[in-house]
Amino acid sequence: MILKHTVRTALIGLKTNKSRSALTILGIVIGVTAIIVIVSLGEGAQSLILGQIQGLGSRVIGVVPGRIPKSPTDIVATLSASLTTRDLAALERKENVPHAEYIIPVVFGSETISYEGRTYRPTIFGGNEMMADVYDSYPERGRNVTADEVHNSAAVVILGYNVADKLAPNSDLLNQRVKIKGKNFLVIGIRAKMGSVTLINFDEMAMMPYTTAQQYVFGIRYYNRFIVRADKDENVISTVHDIQATLRQLHGITDPDKDDFSIQTQADALKTVGIVLTALTLFLAMVAAISLVVGGIGIMNIMLVSVTERTREIGLRKAIGATNRDILMQFLLEAVILTGVGGVIGILLGAGLSFAISLVIRNVFGLDWNFTFPLQAALLGIGVSSIIGLIFGLYPARTAAKKSPIEALRYE
């Protein structure tokens, strides 16, 4: 038999048992669909997070208390370390960090805000007058905090869209007073609905001077982080070195491995997040790929049953001149066609589900989520499913090819 005839015979064999063929490829369809969805959502998440990190700009440097944990003792050091007012004063001196355009000391936490009997618990974010610039989050109505308000620990607050809406759904809170920990705060600004920016949900945030947050809300003297912006892109690395030298001198550190602080540039953050998300996506895809193996075993079992049921057909084909190779190719092609079709259906279904999920994330959660079709994962899904069909279809095909034509014709 020529190859064209072998393919036609394999297709006829599959069409004869459509229901069984459909059930046989179910495992392959589920496996490929899962891989496409996981990889697509993984790429979408990576694009969203990396885009938000890039939104801060390449000149932004983060200084965080505690070193990157490498052992249980490091974790304790990370939790107990802090950045102090002395550190801030040293970093603000131009002779120490000459290329720092500005420094934002940051404190944050959660606290309840009340207004006329209504309460809401947003994130309290304390910064200075530059925080709206670095996050590009200026109030839609009202104004930003001023340097004088930061210096004088003024009881003023800028509310996120959701915070204002929850506290006063039917009235305007601008220039009204809300209460936080028993103290009245003047609402000087309200932001438009903007969702998450650089991984921070500003709709669920109340922003105020860091001095105010320290004194009246959290009762602390330390900072959760410093945000430093270099004056030029080419000065980022030198600024990092200046920050390290200044803090090490203040903290009496001579061994860099003993740093009680961590510094991360946007390039570092992009690299770290990219590696983590890629590794996680690959791990989940590998887990989903297990279902392809399960589907391959199912195909082998069904093909063995098919060989037994079609014993007389095999004997008849051999009696009229079909060789062992012809029979082997016929049943092997049936397995490969089944898995190939399953792979195509899985890709189409996975792409459709990924697109639907992307729409839900964008429209319901308000995230700037873009649908991504993972072409490499699709090609891999087709290739792997076909290889699985080849591998798991080989044993049933060999079983069919080895049958004696005389015994096969006698089979009842």
Q: How many whole angstroms separate alpha carbon 16 and alpha carbon 32? A: 25
For the chain, the average pLDDT equals 82
pLDDT digits (tens, 9 = 90+) for 241-252: 999 999 999 999
pLDDT digits (tens, 9 = 90+) for 91-103: 999 999 999 998 9
Q: Which two tokens stand for residue 33?
A: 């669909």
Give residue 211's pLDDT: 96
Under the banding of pLDDT at 50, 70 and 90, the label for residue 12 is low
8 A C-beta contact, residue 288 and residue 32: no
Under the banding of pLDDT at 50, 70 and 90, the label for residue 210 is very high
Q: Which two tokens stand for residue 297?
A: 């075993």
What is the model's pTM? Answer: 0.61
pLDDT digits (tens, 9 = 90+) for 119-146: 999 999 999 998 888 777 789 999 999 9
Q: Give the relative orientation of helices 26-55 and 375-401 as an angle to the nearest 10 degrees.
A: 160
Query: Would you give the end-to-end CA distance of the chain in angstroms?
Result: 26
Four-CA torsion 86, 91, 94, 95, nearest 10 degrees: 80
Give residue 70's pLDDT: 53
Q: How many whole angstroms separate alpha carbon 335 and alpha carbon 338? A: 5
| Domain extents in the chain | 3-53+271-410, 82-259
**253 vs 62, 87, 89, 248, 259, CA distance in Å?**
20, 14, 18, 5, 7
Q: How many whole angstroms separate alpha carbon 223 and alpha carbon 354? A: 41
8 A C-beta contact, residue 283 and residue 22: no
Bigger pLDDT: 288 vs 333:
333
| CB neighbours of residue 251 within 10 Å | 15
Under the banding of pLDDT at 50, 70 and 90, the label for residue 21 is confident
Sequence-distant (6+) residues with CB within 8 A of 309 are none
Instruction: Please give the helix or strand (H or E) that residue 110 lies within, else none.
Output: strand 100-110
